[in-house]
Structure 1
Amino acid sequence: MDILLQVNVAGEETKFGIEATEVDKYIRIISQMNHICLKGLMTIAPFAENPEEIRPVFKKLYQIYIDIKNKRLDNVTMDYLSMGMSNDFEVAIEEGANCVGYHMWTCMDNWSWTNAYKNRYGFISVDLDKEGARTIKKSGHWFKQVADDHGFD
């Protein structure tokens, strides 16, 4: 199974992921697992009005990513560095992100606290008035087609 390891670089209590100081320990454990392949790292930086304020978070994860890549461990390819959200992805790309866009949690219907829960995101819409009836959105059909075609042309 291919995985990305989420690192809580900023140490925020409201975010998941392992602490940056624990990464090496977990990487070594994962490298010994026969059915797990670590494909990269991911993080969600703290929200900031000015994306420049969180540049150090992206710099730190990029350095961890490079350090791991240079170890050339079994079952650890480090193909992906996923960082950046809609308000800071440009800075994330400048700092080495090569995976920006949909993440696993976008498959479900969810709301963003950053805009007072006004926008709904995800491939599947959940109707809260109809006992949670689910409807696949256009983006869900698009993603299915991409998956069926094994990617883009």
Structure 2
Amino acid sequence: MTDSAVEALSGQPSPVLQHAQHGRWQTAQTVEDFAHNLAAVNARMAAACARAGREASSVRLLPVSKTVDVARVRLAVAAGCTFLGENKVQEAQHKWEAMQDLRDLRWSVIGHLQTNKAKFVARFASEFQALDSLRVAEILDRRLQAEGRALDVFVQVNTSNEPSKFGLAPEDVESFIQQLPQFSALRVRGLMTLAIFSDDVPRVRACFVRLRELRERLRQSAPAGVDLTELSMGMSGDFEVAIEEGATVVRVGQAIFGARAVPDSHYWPAGNTP
């Protein structure tokens, strides 16, 4: 959906890239802080859905708790977070182990996965959003079968064509997903992307449009067992644009937890930051 189309629907300019343009986020320190931030993000999500003529329930919020210590993650859970995203496997595993008492808490690994870490993801994760290698798929599948588990996965696509980013080139995705049914423990749910990190709304929007259009095309040839319903796209600075373009999952960290002390480059290439 173009910016002009959004304005026509809502009668006002889309409030996109708001935080990317206007500064930092306040750190949540109490359950009340987290509840306030979650409510604010959900309100912005609902407004973006309304502008795009979508139901608010059509988009899932995935809070991203990377760099947040266990004590503060527990506060976020108390405020209503039940499914959390982490970039680094070691950090996710540590938090999973430390919060075993929270039986309903689930974890999504959203960062690049090295093959030697696949065994850990197979042990605790409910979702993996950065699949872009058949070798990783093979090892994950074998480890999952040994654990007696299955895993929801998203195929990561490099829609910005930046060499610093992980993910498949759009033209390589079709042949990749054709090979995924052989991995019976992997439940393919959709596609994931990171937009270019920029305040230029049209350039950001183009990444999301590219993923949506790719998904629509691939649906026509997807093999049995490959579900391309989901589009995971959009982070703290751009999730409203992503929703306007069809996101079903948005990965939001700093708008919920607050600004991070660790540089974004530690987690994302080229400064992309949930």
For structure 2, the residue ranges without an aligned partner over 5 or more in a row are: 1-150, 254-259, 266-272
* Contact persistence 1:55–1:92 (CA under 8 A): yes
Q: Displacement of 1:32 after TM fit?
A: 3.5
Q: Does 1:60 align with 2:60?
A: no
1:102/1:47 CA distance change after superposition, 3 Å: closer
Q: Secondary structure at the match of 1:8?
A: coil
Which residue in the other structure is 1:99 paired with? 249
Which residue in the other structure is 1:71 paired with? 221
Letter in 1 for 2:264: W
Root-mean-square deviation over aligned CA pairs = 2.5
Which residue in the other structure is 2:179 paired with? 29
Which residue in the other structure is 1:20 paired with? 170
Q: Displacement of 1:73 after TM fit?
A: 2.2
Letter in 1 for 2:262: W
Q: How does 1:133-148 map to 2 (within 5 A)?
A: none
TM-score by length of 1: 0.63
Distance in 2 separating the partners of 1:83 and 1:51:
14
Which residue in the other structure is 2:264 paired with? 113
Which residue in the other structure is 2:23 paired with? none
Moved more, 26-35 or 90-99: 26-35
With a CA cutoff of 8 Å and minimum separation of 6, indicate the structure with the bigger relative contact order.
Answer: 2
Q: Secondary structure at the match of 1:44?
A: coil
Q: Deviations over 1:19-46 (max 9, x none)?
A: 1110001010013432222101000011
Letter in 2 for 1:2: D
Residue 11 (structure 1) aligned to one of 138, 147, 161: 161
Residue 190 (structure 2) aligned to one of 4, 25, 40: 40
% identity of equivalent residues? 34
For structure 1, the residue ranges without an aligned partner over 5 or more in a row are: 104-108, 115-120, 123-153
Letter in 2 for 1:70: Q
Q: Compare the two structures and name the one with the higher helix fraction.
A: 2
Distance in 1 separating the partners of 2:154 and 2:175:
15
Q: Deviations over 1:34-81 (max 9, x none)?
A: 222210100001111132322111111001111222335212112310
Q: Deviations over 1:69-102 (max 9, x none)?
A: 2335212112310111111111111111010135
Q: Compare the two structures and name the one with the higher strand fraction.
A: 1
Which residue in the other structure is 2:72 paired with? none
Distance in 1 separating the partners of 2:240 and 2:170:
23
TM-score by length of 2: 0.37
